[in-house]
Amino acid sequence: MREKTLTDSTANFYRAELVERKDITSDLAIFRFRPNGPFTFQPGQFATLAVESGDKRIQRAYSIASSPEESLLELFIELVEGGKLTPRIWELKIGDSVLLRKRAAGGFTLDEKSGMKCHLMAATVTGISPFVSIIRTHQLRLARKEAEPLRFAVIHGASHSREITVYKNELEETARDGWLSYIPTVSRPWEDAEWQGETGRVEDVIRKYADALGFDHTNATCYACGNPQMIENVKAIMLRARFRKERVHEEKYFQLKD
């Protein structure tokens, strides 16, 4: 999280009105904002939200879940206890607004230069956001015959199923078209008696599903987003599976403490 003085001109920001909110758990929610100006981005990039506090502007980057072709900016956010920005976001009501930096940023986008037709995606909780944006956009472009078919596999992990059900129905519906495989997995099934799906951490099951789907170093690119420990583990697994380093992409949401 960064703080800047107000000399970082408000000319660099839009106002973004909160028009929809869906609380998933006490510390997870989807927020949909309407910027008051044109906001363009590539699927996989992040948006920067900010609030003013005295002579400071508190800002934080959040991966975008919506497609660039949607009218509202959708963010899947986790409340950080004791944080400087997310507690303020949690106080927002419909009609309230925040500052939105006019330019999106980030390079965690679909690696089209690799020429690979398969894309293996690993996420923890809110780390699903850039993948949702990429998949929604690909689906829209396929429908208009503006994109060549690609294959995607998304492994979405969390401690409990309530943390990952937010996009489960949407992705399972998309998977019926045949080009997407979606695998949600829960790492604490003993605390989740009704869960009937895959169990284990993302890194515990990624090789199993990659092998089953035929995603390997000859045809696939890998992406990992969310918890940095998961990312490091997935990177190591993929490198042992002979993936080239430049075909394993990462987006860490925080840094591990020493």
Q: What is the pLDDT of residues 68-102, one digit of tens each?
A: 999 999 999 999 999 999 999 999 999 999 999 99
Nearest to 36 by CA among 94, 129, 106, 98: 98
pLDDT of 134:
98
If we measure between CA atoms, which residue out of 182, 173, 132, 175 comes closest to residue 153?
182
- From CA 149, how far away is CA 130, in angstroms rounded? 19
What pLDDT sits at residue 3? 38
* Exposed e or buried b per residue across 113-130, where buried means at least 16 C-beta atoms within 10 angstroms of its C-beta: eeebebbbbbbbbbbbbb
Q: Measured between alpha carbons, how far is 130 from 109 in angstroms, rounded to an integer?
A: 8
Q: Is the pTM of this model over 0.85?
A: yes
- Position 5 scores a pLDDT of 41
Which residues in the chain are classed under CATH 2.40.30.10?
2-101
Residue ranges of the chain with per-residue pLDDT less than 50: 1-7, 258
CATH 3.40.50.80 range(s) for the chain read 118-252
The packing angle between helices 202-213 and 228-240, to 10°, is: 40
pLDDT digits (tens, 9 = 90+) for 5-30: 444 567 899 999 999 999 999 999 99
Structure tokens at 210: 């990659």
Contact 181, 154 (CB under 8 A): yes
> Looking at the domain 118-252, which fold is it?
Rossmann fold (3.40.50)
The answer to whether the Cα torsion of 232, 187, 74, 50 is positive or negative is negative
The DSSP code sequence of 173-208 is HHHTTSSEEEEEEES-GGG-TT--SEES-HHHHHHH
pLDDT digits (tens, 9 = 90+) for 247-257: 999 999 866 55
Fold annotation for 2-101: Elongation Factor Tu (Ef-tu); domain 3 (2.40.30)
